[in-house]
Structure 1
């Protein structure tokens, strides 16, 4: 059949989208299978009407890396570093993000100190050799590593970002002496200074590498047709082949959410928007990211478990804030007698009580069933029959503990969840000097459309977009993503001292290196370039996207402007320096465009679009409001729906509250203007 398929594994559901040779799109959704992730993909593919032998190209985003890191279920790994620097990983950073938090915990290393080893060698920061590499010592160390049966070894030598010849030689010796052991070198992952962050990154890659390699081997075996190929979604918003991801497994840490942001950028282009908030609410978590000027939002560092206590990863990664609030988030009474929603989740096994799979905990989804937002008698994609009675029993049990009316409690659960998710959006907008009201909010994921209008009210956002196929939108984004490779190289350069043409030559050199690493490049890729810059004497940097031929004066002016916009001040006249050079190579992969929606009459939807009506509790107190229920598949371009109303589709539900107005776009997107308050 020549299918192109995208599979996105989430904490509750596994989403699959397929496109055949004629451009027909099919959607599959299945409960995730934590013990055997591949089974969830095959179930989702079957739900979409496909089989592994039909798939010509599989694009995939997975939680396998982030799950292994958070749960600390990785390989038996060792770390090899420069003699005298064994404790870099243990010491970490001495900063304390929350000075008054008495319960503060330092990040706990993935590889304990007993498994960190040293080799004699030393470079200066300029790459000059102080101590030559002792190869005999490396061979002796290899014997120790063999005896202790390590599955993986990470190598991180001091200043290897400047000159990695010593690190390469250590890797050659270890691979020769330890066949079958996963060997990872720090310069293959990061060529930036900051020894702790580089060490933490290579330790994480060693920790997850064997698990990811085994998982990818199983994936390839299941999709082993003669023409089948597999692309893995990376945290940088691009795709990579299996060989590169096997070596750089840590690049998958946020592979699923990256697909949704890519899809949001593509839809922004079709709708004529340049700035947006990408809001993704699934069954386990909610995620928010900000798109400015149609550019993919990358962060220099990623913290597993959050900045306060998380381990740092120095890889190009989606700039995202995540909170433990999803449809499956459990609502329970805490030790103080207050209701708490999340971060504990019912997941996919057993899932919310209303899934009828044995769950008894009250969740956000159960509360939505209680309020009438979701039809408690409906059948979800994959044949999952909702059980409204089970939802009522679960919420009622918690209400009994608190002495509350169950319906009032359900409304409170939804309100608490919305406030938590709004905080995630504020973390990427208000806390960075941006006003969320200046952005349109794209809401997707299985629960994004359900809660979007309430979250928007919390933030003062007035424009909400529900894209086509919202519950599988991250998988859709994977079908739209480019092949991508990034290189970041530390290089300290005073802007005023730059020789003519030097910057262009170095950036283009890195660009060629990026392009050479792309798999199956048929056409010359396009390039993006950037610079990490700061005032002389500063610690942290500001990243600017630039053209390689930018001159010194224009570069300095741009930095002052960017610094003022980001931090509210600049220091015109102070010397400026470049700390890092960035280059990216991107090549478009085969994509698809959804069909233009046929026009309607330009007013209220046609009668056949109406499924009926039901009472929905829209406010914290009061009686249910009778809401018209529409079938999204029967809406046409130009149709207008005013709230309160419910728009249903197989995999999710969109709720309009009082004062909201929805217009159906020719792209199939639902464009909502938010009116009134919660």
Structure 2
């Protein structure tokens, strides 16, 4: 096996391996929350992987973000400039939910008693007004060491312009307290906006010790099994970084699991001839969706860990993902007012849905799908796990049907309908709310539960095409194999954008390109091919708050290209906001450099030779269909492993495979593509 990828989800851990001939093999095991590395090792055993032959091991997980959401990170202290320790708690003055009487701002990860100040001051232009008080800093470090702190976040005022004081403080901590985990803000992001920079630095320090221990454990256990290749970690921006970079900047892997599926979907665009896609990934705990336009992934400059209303801002590039607590393991429950709810609580991997037979007794979306006939009890996980229908019936009857006065089928349909509605809202959030018409996109459904619900969601939003790629249940792990090594570097530098000031930005971009190349070499050694380097200027009209990232021309930034960059900014502003102001002064806020390079390419796997006649069902199963009546309808069930390119199946029908099932309805037509993807032309909503 040449490359191996592992993705740890809330319920399952997925592994995908590919050899030098392009042949894929997969494994799916239950996640082990008490020891996430064990779930990976269990998957390797199931995969039969021979680690001494592996060159690359790619890894994504939700460990970092779950550490924040569950507030189980390290005891962290924040050191900042005298007079500014409360910036982190004050945050922004906007009230995201103005009519919520009990609205609360984010609860800081660092309590006020551990937010400490040092005497120093750097001005916005980088000049030093007050030198660092080394004696006071030494005393402060000793106090924190005695107080049981494990990790330190250092965020000094305007250190993005001049990091000397942060570096001096870092050296002091290293000398006095070498075992402490230290995060210096300028090493994470060199941008202004004090609150966001402080929050990002604290997030890194908070998860750092937890992620480092996990990565050390995984590295040692892989080495013990003979792995001598390179371990690379998925980033939130869709790129890959070294394990050493992940130890230093674990905040960059907050969404490392979900984004891999988006990258994999983007890689499908050319082969399918579809440049506009909505990746939709429904796993055991959550459902995630994003947008791919013209084959490019939608990347945002920041993100809120825990949601916009009460989450912690992270000002680093991240694939724009909307996530909702609706997965196969999401628990259905009846609130005090008698309303049926689904999620966000999940049965997870332990005890799991009631039908898993592992001790769970609460009804979940998976239990409902089993009752409705959409899942086959004997074919789950390719027959490795037999689902307990009686347990699913008992859970739904006890906790949903009886409280609401419904029969079993109506209760199960209600659970699935609510889950579909929640996921439809997520798809609207990445499309309609961004000014995009979902009817112009194809929905790419992945995850173990995604293909079960995708056509229902497509009908709700009038999406005309649904694509189920090969290996949907392990698609996030497979998507990592399509990822690139990538780093995003930024630098705040404020000036009026005019020919006289262009040269200073050209010098900064040259410095960033050199730093980016150094990071790339640290990750993968000497590149086998020239990396791709993209430069951007952050521009805005004077008086505006936020910027637009404008690409720098290939010939570089100079007085000669100033007018072209300015014209492109006006045009981009017109496209985004519907107007432009060519006569207004433009300010440059800073620069951004993106360096990327593909991993070693793997030959495409040849499609297996299968019979080309009409597709033949393996059984007929009674299924309660979306939008139909309460009575089950006899549906043919097809085995995906027997389908060949060009075959067509008219709905309603079910296509099952080892780790997923596809359900489609009357008026839908499924066609098998050349790469064995299932392309469903969706009929009109019922």
**Do residues 663 (structure 1) and 671 (structure 2) align?**
yes
1:534-577, Cα deviation, whole Å (9 max, x unpaired): 21101122233443536233323322332233233333422222
CA separation in 1, counterparts of 2:642 and 2:500? 61
Per-residue deviation at 1:25? Answer: 1.3
User: 1:28–1:382: 8 Å Cα contact kept in structure 2?
Assistant: no
Q: Which residue of 1 aligns with 2:598?
A: 588
1:423-461, Cα deviation, whole Å (9 max, x unpaired): 111111111111111111111011111100001111111
**Do residues 387 (structure 1) and 395 (structure 2) align?**
no
Per-residue deviation at 1:77? Answer: 1.2
User: 1:13–1:29: 8 Å Cα contact kept in structure 2?
Assistant: yes
CA separation in 1, counterparts of 2:158 and 2:248? 21
CA separation of 1:382 and 1:300: change in aligned 2, threshold 3 A: farther
User: 1:283–1:329: 8 Å Cα contact kept in structure 2?
Assistant: yes
Q: Which residue of 2 aligns with 1:629?
A: 637
Q: Which residue of 1 aligns with 2:98?
A: 99
Per-residue deviation at 1:498? Answer: 4.8
Over the aligned positions, Cα root-mean-square deviation in angstroms equals 1.8
SS, match of residue 273 in structure 1: coil
CA separation in 2, counterparts of 1:656 and 1:207? 45
Out of 569, 572, 581, the position equivalent to 1:562 is: 572
**Do residues 269 (structure 1) and 275 (structure 2) align?**
no
CA separation in 2, counterparts of 1:637 and 1:195? 55
User: 1:601–1:638: 8 Å Cα contact kept in structure 2?
Assistant: no
User: 2:23–2:605: 8 Å Cα contact kept in structure 1?
Assistant: no
Q: Which residue of 1 aligns with 2:539?
A: 533
Per-residue deviation at 1:235? Answer: 0.6
SS, match of residue 331 in structure 2: strand
Q: Which residue of 1 aligns with 2:434?
A: 432
Q: Which residue of 2 aligns with 1:515?
A: 517
CA separation of 1:203 and 1:327: change in aligned 2, threshold 3 A: same
TM normalised by structure 2 equals 0.95
CA separation of 1:256 and 1:593: change in aligned 2, threshold 3 A: farther
| 1:426-505 equivalent positions in 2, closer than 5 A | 426-499=428-501, 503-505=505-507
CA separation of 1:124 and 1:382: change in aligned 2, threshold 3 A: farther
Per-residue deviation at 1:100? Answer: 0.9
Indicate the larger mover: 550-559 or 136-145.
550-559
Q: Which residue of 1 aligns with 2:19?
A: 20
CA separation of 1:379 and 1:458: change in aligned 2, threshold 3 A: closer
CA separation in 2, counterparts of 1:500 and 1:186? 27
SS, match of residue 171 in structure 2: helix
User: 1:290–1:428: 8 Å Cα contact kept in structure 2?
Assistant: yes
CA separation in 1, counterparts of 2:500 and 2:122? 25
1:618-652, Cα deviation, whole Å (9 max, x unpaired): 13533222211111111111111111111110000
Per-residue deviation at 1:599? Answer: 7.2
CA separation of 1:81 and 1:11: change in aligned 2, threshold 3 A: same
Q: Which residue of 2 aligns with 1:61?
A: 60
User: 2:240–2:483: 8 Å Cα contact kept in structure 1?
Assistant: yes
Q: Which residue of 2 aligns with 1:547?
A: 553
SS, match of residue 35 in structure 1: coil
Q: Which residue of 1 aligns with 2:254?
A: 253
Q: Which residue of 2 aligns with 1:72?
A: 71
Per-residue deviation at 1:185? Answer: 0.4
SS, match of residue 380 in structure 1: helix
CA separation in 1, counterparts of 2:394 and 2:628? 20
CA separation of 1:504 and 1:129: change in aligned 2, threshold 3 A: closer
Unaligned runs of 5+ in 2: none
Out of 403, 409, 412, the position equivalent to 2:405 is: 403
**Do residues 223 (structure 1) and 225 (structure 2) align?**
no
CA separation of 1:532 and 1:258: change in aligned 2, threshold 3 A: same
**Do residues 616 (structure 1) and 623 (structure 2) align?**
yes
Per-residue deviation at 1:531? Answer: 2.7
SS, match of residue 196 in structure 1: helix
CA separation in 2, counterparts of 1:485 and 1:450? 36
1:50-84, Cα deviation, whole Å (9 max, x unpaired): 25555442110011101100000011111110111
SS, match of residue 257 in structure 2: helix
SS, match of residue 184 in structure 1: strand
Q: Which residue of 2 aligns with 1:317?
A: 318
Q: Which residue of 2 aligns with 1:170?
A: 169
User: 2:51–2:227: 8 Å Cα contact kept in structure 1?
Assistant: no
Per-residue deviation at 1:28? Answer: 0.4
User: 2:52–2:228: 8 Å Cα contact kept in structure 1?
Assistant: no
CA separation of 1:599 and 1:637: change in aligned 2, threshold 3 A: farther
CA separation in 2, counterparts of 1:470 and 1:511? 37
CA separation in 2, counterparts of 1:183 and 1:250? 13
Per-residue deviation at 1:486? Answer: 1.2
Query: How many residues get paired?
Result: 674
TM normalised by structure 1 equals 0.96
CA separation in 1, counterparts of 2:8 and 2:136? 44
User: 1:480–1:592: 8 Å Cα contact kept in structure 2?
Assistant: no
| 1:344-363 equivalent positions in 2, closer than 5 A | 344-363=345-364
**Do residues 673 (structure 1) and 681 (structure 2) align?**
yes
**Do residues 367 (structure 1) and 340 (structure 2) align?**
no
SS, match of residue 29 in structure 1: strand
User: 1:77–1:115: 8 Å Cα contact kept in structure 2?
Assistant: yes
| 1:28-39 equivalent positions in 2, closer than 5 A | 28-39=27-38
Per-residue deviation at 1:245? Answer: 0.7
Unaligned runs of 5+ in 1: none
CA separation in 2, counterparts of 1:454 and 1:100? 33
User: 1:14–1:44: 8 Å Cα contact kept in structure 2?
Assistant: yes
1:256-302, Cα deviation, whole Å (9 max, x unpaired): 01111111111112222222111111010011111122223221111
User: 2:380–2:659: 8 Å Cα contact kept in structure 1?
Assistant: no
User: 1:595–1:667: 8 Å Cα contact kept in structure 2?
Assistant: no
SS, match of residue 590 in structure 2: strand
